[in-house]
Amino acid sequence: MITMSDVARAAGVSVMTVSNVLNERTNVGADTRLRVLEVVEELGYEINLTARRLRSGRTGTIGLIVPQFDLHYYGELASRISEALAPEGMHLVVEQSGASRERELSALSLARLQQYDGVLLSAVGLDMADLDRIHPDVPIVLLGEQAVPERYHRVRMGNVEGARLATEHLVGCGARRVAVLGGKTSAPHPEMATYRTDGWSQALDQAGLPHDPALVIPLTTYSIAEARSAISAAVDGGLEVDAIFAVTDEVAIGALAGLHDAGLRVPEDVQLAGFDNLGISAHLVPGLTTIDPDHPTLVTEALRLLRRQLKDRTADPEHVVSGARLVARGTTRGRSAP
């Protein structure tokens, strides 16, 4: 391994001068700078980021912690963030916390957090108390829906509003019995599913429709496979619905398959709406009606909050909520979106 002192020796200057050149600091003569750069090139020297980090604290790397790589939502999120950071010379690495409280806590250990200049955390397994226990010296922005202590900076979607829009749309398209797939009416701590179920519930109230508890179909992993079998089972079990609000697009994809298994047509027999507006959702057959949570704003805002903390550790925490917009497609019988 070639170090800075190898370069310094070869260029006939001090280590400090090499460091100054590479960090574009002042007080280096033009000719010296050139000589150093030549030698760097010639020896193929590259800086040791570990050493720099230990000494200076800066890493140039942002960490994103997500529950699962293979939920499409997180893949898209990671991709967007990575692209947004690239032009600033920052660099994203993604870790999977595995959706369990235990692994999420381990991903949030000081040891692991220290490795980043900042962390974007999309937690699901942690509750308020866990988050309260963590006092990292690294800027963190929470992405997500669960309740969090005030001191955290945070960006989230307009869950209740979005779910209400989706459900209203289903009702507006003639639905009278709207199930919520992945719904959750009570939980020790509010989270994505409870908020979206609230929105569903509000829309039903507003429309004067009853909400039969049988219409809430719970899920635990929110995977396509689980959603599919849940829907199949529900229909086989005699559940009668004319519409389904799926709490995520991933779940809606499973519902599409499950309804097909049960011999029901979408949207003729049962209408369907999701939430997230995944890239794939526009390309399903039929196209999935869904809620667009305004991904670009989510990303922009999350990075803005992060940069703000990077500049000023004591910046006041901010909670940002992105707007929700309905995207009507083939799984519902309404007119197309504007």
Task: Please give the residue ranges that form the binding site for its own copies (CB under 8 A).
Answer: 1, 44, 46-51, 53-54, 63, 68-72, 74-76, 78-79, 82-83, 86, 91-96, 98, 103, 109-112, 114-115, 137, 224-225, 228, 253-254, 256-257, 260, 279-280, 282-285
Task: Report if residue 314 touches DNA, rule: CB under 7 A.
Answer: no
Answer yes or no: are the C-beta atoms of 292 and 266 closer than 8 Å.
Answer: no
Residues 6+ apart with CB under 8 A from 274: 166, 246, 248, 249, 251, 252, 253, 281, 288, 289, 290, 291
Task: Report if residue 14 touches DNA, rule: CB under 7 A.
Answer: yes
The residue (of 12 and 57) whose beta carbon lies closer to its own copies is 57
Residue 22-41 contact track with DNA, rule CB under 7 A, x = bound: xx--xxxxxxxx--------
Q: Which of 48, 106, 206, 220 binds DNA (CB under 7 A)?
A: 48
Instruction: Give min distance, CB of 311 to DNA, in A.
Output: 16
Q: Radius of gyration over alpha carbons of the chain, in Å?
A: 25
Residues 6+ apart with CB under 8 A from 49: 59, 60
Host H or E run for residue 159: helix 159-172
Task: Report if residue 106 touches DNA, rule: CB under 7 A.
Answer: no
The residue (of 19 and 300) whose beta carbon lies closer to DNA is 19
HSE toward the beta carbon, residue 7, CA cutoff 13 A: 28
Q: Which one-letter DSSP state was computed for residue 283? A: G
Instruction: Give min distance, CB of 131 to DNA, in A.
Output: 24
Task: Report if residue 44 touches DNA, rule: CB under 7 A.
Answer: no
Of the chain, the end-to-end C-alpha distance in Å amounts to: 59
Number of residues that bind DNA (CB under 7 A): 29
The residue (of 26 and 186) whose beta carbon lies closer to DNA is 26
Residues 6+ apart with CB under 8 A from 198: 159, 160, 163
Instruction: Give min distance, CB of 59 to its own copies, in A.
Output: 8
